[in-house]
Chain A
Amino acid sequence: MVKSSAQHGSRLMAALRADRGGRLFLGTLVIVSAIVPLLNLLPSPASALHLSNYTVTLIGKYMTYAILAIAVDLIWGYCGILSLGHGAFFALGGYAMGMYLMRQIGTRGVYGNPILPDFMVFLNWKELPWFWEGFNAFPYAVLMIVLVPGVLALVFGFLAFRSRVSGVYLSIITQALTYALMLAFFRNDMGFGGNNGFTDFKDILGFSLQSSATRIALFLATALALGGCYVLCRFIIASRAGRVIQAIRDAENRARFIGYRVESYKLWLFVLSAVLSGIAGALYVPQVGIINPSEFSPTNSIEIVIWVAIGGRGTLYGAVVGAILVNYAKTYFTDALPSMWLYALGALFVIVTLFLPRGVVGAIRART
């Protein structure tokens, strides 16, 4: 046991040694997660070096997107499964976290009901629905953040991969999945707050969400999750299973004929990717402070794929670069030139697919 974990450790180190971009990314992540809290907490708010809470939250949000992008790159870049519904897993994780945060509000809601969240009082509900039970306990919520997206991916993936739905067809039914979930969550009687979703959160684990310290803690947790997620995915890709997964991407039938259980590999990778997306969603909600059904919209899911494509698929760190680049551009454009954003994003899609098939990272690598 000890030996095998040591073996794993050394294999991971070897993988990271070969992964220059990854080392660069992890190094940057460490530096950012050291500097950002310092710049937020130490200098006086008037100082030029001071980072506002807004900026800290913004960077935190980008990092949750980066986790999501890594999850998509894991299946798309390495296994050729293009999911146009990964936003659904992200949103489910977010909703699970949102349910915990809603229960934490307690009597501080507008209606002051100790058990029922505001929207249920508003809808004249008398009892908490059964699926809301347990969400007042943080460990249970964490379990659900992992389980709900995981089980959905397991069932969906089992059905899809077993009957060998692949390529474009898979993309379209994942899109239908997230679309169906969006319609469902928009309904008031689903018990998830209808189109308003959840908002007005007060605190997490007893710490106020408004305080700087909590925000920094959430930021660090996200950074840790991002780093951990990257290392985990890198480890999987570098492992023997990772080789099989890439073989499946390149020649699925050949891998199957050699004797690998293609469906199982795809299924477990898909489930892992969904779980990572769920975790990203759970970290996103307390920082952004709202979750609503528009997170399920098919457009959101396509946007995730775009981040990965722009960054460069099949590299993992490229996904991170793409997520941060596109979202930074989005923040900038929607602020400075709101009407230009969709033109820019649209043009980006076209240009990247036509001229940068390996993404920004691929283009840089080709130069050096």
Chain B
Amino acid sequence: MMSASSLAAVPCALAQTPAEAPTRVQAPTPIESQAPATKTSTDPGLAALLAQFPDASYADKRTLIVQLTALRDPRVRVVLQALLDGNLYVRSSDGRVLIATPQAADQRLESGAERGAEQGANDDDQLRLLDPVTAAAAGTAVPDDLSTIGVNNQLRKELRVALAQFDLASSDAAVRLAAVKEMLRALDADGQAVLRERVKRETNAEVKREIQVGLALADLDAPDAATRLGAVGALSGSLNPDVYNRLSAMVQQSSDGAYGESDPEVRAAATADLHSIERSRTFYAGIQTILYGLSQGSVLVLAAIGLAITFGVMGVINMAHGELMMLGAYTTYVVQLMMPQHIGASIVVAIPIAFLVSGLAGIAIERGIVRHLYGRPLETLLATFGVSLILQQAVRDIFSANNRPVETPEWLAGSLQINEVLAITYNRLYIIVFTFVLFLVLLAVLKRTRLGLEVRAVSQNRAMAKAMGVRTEWVDALTFGLGSGIAGVAGVALSQLTNVGPNLGQSYIVDSFMVVVFGGVGNLWGTEVGGNALGVVNKLLEPYSGAVLAKIFVLVFLILFIQRRPRGLFPQKGRAADG
């Protein structure tokens, strides 16, 4: 039954539609080839169909859904979605069909925080109403005034397919892809027909591929062998796990000797497909291992690259190097405390600040301690170890001994799905890129700038450089500051990967020294290549031995390697190496 007031409301709502459009809460998906003229002409149909819902039986509703879908109106999608979610209601007072949603979650959170819990609880009961025809807000109501338009499981299934078909017409490829996946979950003859229609017009390669795979999977059940053979051919190279499982089932021999697939030719084709799938799976698993290894290696490089300057170029053993990284990580924490509204930007802001903080700390260490101990590497080691203890305790006293929470910005979270079997998290990806950029910057500084030239001159022959007018003391301090500043930048990156606590530095110190020595002292390329190689080797070993044992193996390998080649992978050539 339709009430008079609801009918009367339709024309005036109609007139409002264009003006209201921008303020819609839930933007309906635009439909391809949808002329505005048709839209207006179907409006009465939508309203009329909706009005039949309150008194419809489940069978009637089913017909209604089909009719609604046939309208091809974007607003229908909203209605169907609401019906599926149980958000489509009839208002008891006037019998209008409305979409009701609880107050938006974020709004509720804010109001709860600002106005206190008591009022927040009241707000929970209020439902926001939306007129599905005009898409305009229709005030609020309490649940008692509304009655749900019920659906059963059969209808839910219909609704999902109907929604998917709707989305299949979307101009957004991602929506189409999701729709195809939804339809493939329960594909019947009608769905197949729709997809076969769609695949002819589909322009996006990914969506097309998904439909083809889905249809081919359906064709595997076809009675005639030729269709099945064609389907198997179409599935070749797909990494979809369903495909793999279906194909394996086909070539499997059951206990009574019968194969899942009766036709030997189809079976042979399926076997060939399986082999190629296994090959590409192995291939992608290999790529994944290498990427993981590179990201782990990048962490090592990050920890070691500052050391490659102080230890590698200057020959100073700085045991406080790890603590300089720790300072960088704590700088990130402090920066985030100062700008809690801009976590995304905080990391970027923290990088130069951490460079300055750790760089200045490094210069202080150099001026205060290290410069008195040049030529006595073992004493330097001990004195800087003392500094590292003091820094650790200072951090403990200032920030407490517990780990500090450093937030991960949104752009670092999540992962990049390359295909069905290969995914890499963004923080791993960024760490690889970040490390490489840092490495290139350092390389450029050392090879292309005046400071770099002087640093290399001093490290090769201090006395001669001094005689040529290089201010060696000044160069020492700046070099040490540069290496330390890089450690601080590394600390910013590490704050995103590990716990930020007083022991952060200590856990990297052995590793980073090993990387520098492995790569060859005084050689930045060696550090980059060596660190990444160690990371990859570690990840390659991990599946066989477990993480801890893999690390032990790598350490033992390094110990043996240094025996073989005491000067590392890429030894420094020339007289400087004789020292």
B564–A163 touching, CB < 8 Å: yes
Distance of A156 Cα from B388 Cα, bound (Å): 29
Whether A353 contacts B555 in the complex (CB less than 8 A), given A169-B517, A187-B549, A346-B390, comes out as no
Q: Select which of B548, B558, B563 is within 8 A of A163 by beta carbon.
A: B563
Question: What residues of chain A lie closer than 8 Å to B378, measured between beta carbons?
Answer: 82, 167-168, 171
Whether A354 contacts B373 in the complex (CB less than 8 A), given A168-B317, A183-B552, A298-B510, comes out as yes
15 A-B pairs within 8 Å (CB atoms) are namely: A163-B564, A165-B566, A169-B566, A172-B517, A176-B513, A179-B555, A183-B552, A183-B555, A184-B552, A186-B548, A309-B379, A342-B389, A343-B389, A353-B382, A353-B383
Of A99-107, A131-139, A278-286, A299-307, the stretch lying at the interface with chain B is: A299-307
B532 smallest CB distance to A (angstroms)? 19
Among residues 511 to 567 in chain B, which have CB atoms less than 8 Å away from a CB atom of chain A? 513-514, 517, 548-549, 551-552, 555-556, 558-560, 562-564, 566
Q: Select which of B369, B385, B397, B514 is within 8 A of A176 by beta carbon.
A: B514
A171–B566 touching, CB < 8 Å: no
B576 smallest CB distance to A (angstroms)? 15
Question: What residues of chain A lie closer than 8 Å to B514, measured between beta carbons?
Answer: 172, 176
A348 within 8 A of B: yes
A164 within 8 A of B: yes
Distance of A343 Cα from B390 Cα, bound (Å): 5
The DSSP consensus for interface residues of chain A is helix
A309–B382 touching, CB < 8 Å: yes
Among residues 285 to 311 in chain A, which have CB atoms less than 8 Å away from a CB atom of chain B? 298-299, 302, 305-306, 309
A342–B390 touching, CB < 8 Å: yes
A160 within 8 A of B: yes
Question: What residues of chain A lie closer than 8 Å to B377, measured between beta carbons?
Answer: 167-168
- B 387-422 to A, binary, CB cutoff 8 A, 1 in contact else 0: 111101110110000000000000000000000000
Whether A180 contacts B566 in the complex (CB less than 8 A), given A159-B560, A172-B513, comes out as no
A349 within 8 A of B: yes
Besides the known contacts A184-B548, A346-B390, 5 further A-B residue pairs in the complex with CB atoms under 8 A apart: A173-B517, A309-B379, A350-B369, A353-B386, A357-B379
B538 smallest CB distance to A (angstroms)? 12
A220 within 8 A of B: no
B506 within 8 A of A: yes
B10 within 8 A of A: no
B448 within 8 A of A: no
B548 smallest CB distance to A (angstroms)? 5
Question: What residues of chain B lie closer than 8 Å to A225, measured between beta carbons?
Answer: none
Question: What residues of chain B lie closer than 8 Å to A177, measured between beta carbons?
Answer: 555, 559
Whether A346 contacts B397 in the complex (CB less than 8 A), given A172-B517, A306-B382, A354-B383, comes out as no
A47 within 8 A of B: no
Distance of A184 Cα from B555 Cα, bound (Å): 11
B323 smallest CB distance to A (angstroms)? 10
B137 within 8 A of A: no
A345 within 8 A of B: yes
Question: What residues of chain A lie closer than 8 Å to B509, measured between beta carbons?
Answer: 298
Question: What residues of chain A lie closer than 8 Å to B549, measured between beta carbons?
Answer: 184, 187
Question: What residues of chain B lie closer than 8 Å to A176, measured between beta carbons?
Answer: 510, 513-514, 555, 558-559
Question: What residues of chain B lie closer than 8 Å to A175, measured between beta carbons?
Answer: 510, 513
- B 112-139 to A, binary, CB cutoff 8 A, 1 in contact else 0: 0000000000000000000000000000
Question: What residues of chain B lie closer than 8 Å to A353, measured between beta carbons?
Answer: 373, 379-380, 382-383, 386
Distance of A167 Cα from B579 Cα, bound (Å): 12
A38 within 8 A of B: no
Most chain-B Cβ atoms within 10 A of its Cβ — which of A176, A299, A341? A176
B201 within 8 A of A: no
B357 within 8 A of A: no
A339 within 8 A of B: yes
A339–B562 touching, CB < 8 Å: no
Among residues 476 to 513 in chain B, which have CB atoms less than 8 Å away from a CB atom of chain A? 506, 509-510, 513
A349–B396 touching, CB < 8 Å: no
Question: What residues of chain A lie closer than 8 Å to B369, measured between beta carbons?
Answer: 350, 354
The residue in chain B whose Cβ has the minimal distance to the Cβ of A352 is: B382
Question: What residues of chain A lie closer than 8 Å to B563, measured between beta carbons?
Answer: 159-160, 162-163, 165
Question: What residues of chain A lie closer than 8 Å to B556, measured between beta carbons?
Answer: 180
Distance of A57 Cα from B495 Cα, bound (Å): 43
Whether A350 contacts B387 in the complex (CB less than 8 A), given A169-B562, A176-B514, comes out as yes
Whether A165 contacts B386 in the complex (CB less than 8 A), given A184-B552, A353-B373, comes out as no
B379–A346 touching, CB < 8 Å: no
B381 within 8 A of A: yes
Distance of A338 Cα from B558 Cα, bound (Å): 38
Distance of A81 Cα from B566 Cα, bound (Å): 16
Question: What residues of chain B lie closer than 8 Å to A162, measured between beta carbons?
Answer: 563
Question: How extensive is the interface on chain B, given as a class?
Answer: 35 or more
B383–A299 touching, CB < 8 Å: no
A35 within 8 A of B: no
Which residues on A are within 8 Å of B, measured CB to CB? 82, 156, 159-160, 162-165, 167-169, 171-173, 175-177, 179-180, 183-184, 186-187, 298-299, 302, 305-306, 309, 339, 341-343, 345-350, 352-354, 357
Distance of A188 Cα from B549 Cα, bound (Å): 12
Most chain-A Cβ atoms within 10 A of its Cβ — which of B319, B377, B385, B389? B389
Question: What residues of chain B lie closer than 8 Å to A305, measured between beta carbons?
Answer: 382
Distance of A186 Cα from B551 Cα, bound (Å): 13
Distance of A349 Cα from B383 Cα, bound (Å): 5
Question: What residues of chain A lie closer than 8 Å to B394, measured between beta carbons?
Answer: 343
B372 within 8 A of A: yes
B176 smallest CB distance to A (angstroms)? 51
Question: What residues of chain A lie closer than 8 Å to B548, measured between beta carbons?
Answer: 183-184, 186-187
B380 smallest CB distance to A (angstroms)? 8
B559–A349 touching, CB < 8 Å: no
The residue in chain B whose Cβ has the minimal distance to the Cβ of A164 is: B566
Question: What residues of chain B lie closer than 8 Å to A339, measured between beta carbons?
Answer: 393, 396-397
Distance of A362 Cα from B386 Cα, bound (Å): 21
Question: What residues of chain A lie closer than 8 Å to B383, measured between beta carbons?
Answer: 349-350, 353-354
A176 smallest CB distance to B (angstroms)? 5
The residue in chain A whose Cβ has the minimal distance to the Cβ of B556 is: A180
Distance of A271 Cα from B356 Cα, bound (Å): 46
Question: What residues of chain A lie closer than 8 Å to B387, measured between beta carbons?
Answer: 346, 349-350
The residue in chain A whose Cβ has the minimal distance to the Cβ of B503 is: A299
Question: What residues of chain B lie closer than 8 Å to A342, measured between beta carbons?
Answer: 389-390, 392-393, 396
The residue in chain A whose Cβ has the minimal distance to the Cβ of B546 is: A187
Question: What residues of chain A lie closer than 8 Å to B390, measured between beta carbons?
Answer: 342-343, 346-347
Among residues 18 to 33 in chain B, which have CB atoms less than 8 Å away from a CB atom of chain A? none
Question: What residues of chain B lie closer than 8 Å to A187, measured between beta carbons?
Answer: 548-549
Distance of A299 Cα from B396 Cα, bound (Å): 17
The residue in chain B whose Cβ has the minimal distance to the Cβ of A76 is: B378
Most chain-B Cβ atoms within 10 A of its Cβ — which of A156, A172, A352? A172
Instruction: List 8 tightest A-B contacts by C-beta distance, closest first.
Output: A349-B386, A346-B389, A346-B390, A342-B393, A180-B555, A346-B386, A353-B383, A350-B386
The residue in chain A whose Cβ has the minimal distance to the Cβ of B368 is: A350
Question: What residues of chain B lie closer than 8 Å to A299, measured between beta carbons?
Answer: 506
B412 smallest CB distance to A (angstroms)? 29
Distance of A173 Cα from B556 Cα, bound (Å): 9
The residue in chain B whose Cβ has the minimal distance to the Cβ of A167 is: B377
Distance of A167 Cα from B567 Cα, bound (Å): 12
Whether A348 contacts B566 in the complex (CB less than 8 A), given A183-B551, A339-B396, comes out as no
The residue in chain B whose Cβ has the minimal distance to the Cβ of A180 is: B555
Question: What residues of chain A lie closer than 8 Å to B506, measured between beta carbons?
Answer: 299
Distance of A298 Cα from B383 Cα, bound (Å): 16
B362 smallest CB distance to A (angstroms)? 15
A88 smallest CB distance to B (angstroms)? 12
B183 smallest CB distance to A (angstroms)? 49
Distance of A82 Cα from B379 Cα, bound (Å): 10
A146 smallest CB distance to B (angstroms)? 23
Distance of A341 Cα from B563 Cα, bound (Å): 38
B527 smallest CB distance to A (angstroms)? 14
Question: What residues of chain A lie closer than 8 Å to B379, measured between beta carbons?
Answer: 309, 353, 357
